[in-house]
Amino acid sequence: MDKQLIVFCNNYRRELESLNLKESFSELDIAYFPNRCGLPPIEWSRLRESIPNLDNYQQLHIISCGSINGLSKEQTIIGCNCSNDTRQCYHLLTNPDLAGYYIEQGYFLVTPGWLASWPDTLAGWGFDQPQAIQFFKDTSRAILLLDTGVDSSAEKKLAQFADYVNLPFKSLKVGLEYLKLLLTNKLLKTRNTSNFATEQVNTTKIQRGLADFAMTLDLLDQLARIREEGAVIEKIKEIFTMLLAPQIVKYRPANDKKEAGHLKQEETTDSFTIQITGNSGLLGYLEIIKVNQPQFLDQYKKLADRVINICALAIENAHHYQLIKDLSDTDDLTRLANRRRLDEQLREEWRRMQRNEKPLTVMMFDIDFFKHFNDRYGHQAGDDCLKAVAAVLANYCRRSGDLAARFGGEEFVLILPEVKETNAVIIAENIRKEIEGLKIAHDDSAVSKYVTMSIGVVSQVPTTEMPAEKMIAAADKALYKAKETGRNRVVIAD
């Protein structure tokens, strides 16, 4: 049996140990080289000298990630190259399309291994804390941990690192399924099976394994590019229909209690239920009902078992996409929509209302004398005030098209489709009273002893003469008039 060697960055030692690849590949050894993140690449000739008995291996796989120079073309390289900014080592842990999406949204991705020595890494970059804060401020909007589950203290280290560089942070459980799939597929493909020519059973087993992984990778490729969970589910149902030819394929999410009793029923001779479990726990159930050839039910179950983990991975990837999208569309402090999401929603509702010839209402809010509030009570009290106001506005968003957003500073916007002017005035006045009714003390306000808001409102059926941008401008002009004429009042745009 040909011996194989994987040369891996030390940051991933715990992941490799958790995978226990030697259980399936007894001919495999693993060597590690020191983390080179952010440092000049090491020469392969120098690294080669540190690997004992290298000539004993017939297959050599190197996880280079751009950290090794001088590799010959004959070398098999798993993973990707950091010199290409869309391909970095964390693409080994999750689908490259998903990792690329995180990066596009401005997240600095870290792994448990990287976090284990982040102070040394920053020191190696020559950064003190002010330099690190400036660097990450210029390059990232938040820190995102791809949590493989190998280090129970990873989230604590994440919080420490994020605090050090003064950025918000988030953790996503990606597990080891994707890394296992990549490595196992590579090892199966490169394993020299010539030594097994006389062992037909083993040869057949290897060929079956290669076929299974080829199919699994093909399924993963089909699913990986789908970002909406509903579309992922439909694709999974389509794949199982193709593989097993049942009359019906049903998906039930784990939180769907309506069918819980049904799912516990005993399986029949032509139907069965598969449990879909991911890194975050139980995701749902897939019901395969009335397969075309019931005599092969056991084989169908085995085939389903081989691909169901990939389906779980795709569903969780869709969850991750949605989470990152929500984070990128949300104001960090108030949890309302941010300016980007506001612009998107306003354009979308403007087009919809124009098409349906229905009125669109836009309200703009400004907390009265908020600078004086901050100066007197401090910025923490100011943040608490903004959150309280945001909570009131969020309560007025009860339909899919409604949106409350933070426009900037102490200004907010509310979008209410299909609300005509008379109703808009009533809603705005209710909000004004509710804000003052919070009784947040404001001793430096010239209009009340409590926090109040001025509100500008525009409401009309969208036309080409009044595009979305002009509606915002009209609401802003009405807000200015409300402030100019005494504050703590509602003014309708002309």
User: Which residues are known catalytic residues?
Assistant: 410
Give, in order, the Cα–Cα distances in Å from 285 to each of 72, 107, 261.
47, 32, 13
Strands 59-62 and 4-9: parallel
Helix axes 200-224, 177-190, angle to 10 degrees: 140
Residue 146's CB: how many other CB atoms inside 10 A? 26
The sign of the CA dihedral 374, 377, 379, 383 is negative
Q: Amino acid letter at 196?
A: F
Give dist(CA 263, CA 288) in Å, integer.
11
Of 410, 418, 420, 417, whose CA–CA distance to 455 is shortest?
410
Of 158, 206, 165, whose CA–CA distance to 184 is shortest?
206
DSSP state of 52: T
Q: Name residue 7's beta-bridge partners.
A: 31, 62
Give dist(CA 211, CA 494) in Å, integer.
70
Q: Name residue 109's beta-bridge partners.
A: 144
Residue 158's CB: how many other CB atoms inside 10 A? 21
Q: Cβ distance 410 to 396 under 8 Å?
A: no
Place of tokens 């002893």: 449
3-state secondary structure of 442: coil
Place of tokens 């002017």: 421
Strands 107-110 and 142-147: parallel
Find the DSSP H helices in 195-270: 200-224, 229-244, 260-263
Q: For residue 42, report the phi and psi dihedrals to the nearest 5 degrees.
A: -90, 145
Q: Amino acid letter at 81?
A: N
Q: Cβ distance 476 to 456 under 8 Å?
A: yes
3-state secondary structure of 454: strand
- In whole angstroms, how large is the CA radius of gyration of the chain? 29
Of 278, 264, 233, whose CA–CA distance to 251 is shortest?
233
